[in-house]
Amino acid sequence: QVRLVESGGGLVQPGGSLRLSCAASSRIDSVMGWYRQAPGKQRELVASITRYGGTNYVDSVKGRFTISRDNVKNTMDLQMNSLKPEDTAVYYCNVRTILGSGIWGQGTQVTVSS
Q: Comparing C-alpha atoms, which of 111, 109, 112, 88 is closest to residue 7?
A: 109
Q: What is the pLDDT of residue 83?
A: 98
Average pLDDT, the chain: 96
For residues 23-49, one letter each, b for 16 or more C-beta atoms within 10 angstroms of the residue's C-beta and e for the rest, the string is ebeeebeebbbbbbeeeeeeeeebbbb
> Mind listing the pLDDT tens digit for each residue in 42-87?
999 999 999 999 999 999 999 999 999 999 999 999 999 999 999 9
Confidence of residue 1 (pLDDT cuts 50, 70, 90): confident
pLDDT value at 101 more than 90 = no
| Cα(1)–Cα(9) distance, integer angstroms | 25
CA atoms within 13 A of residue 62's CA, in its CB half-sphere? 6
Q: What is the pLDDT of residue 38?
A: 97
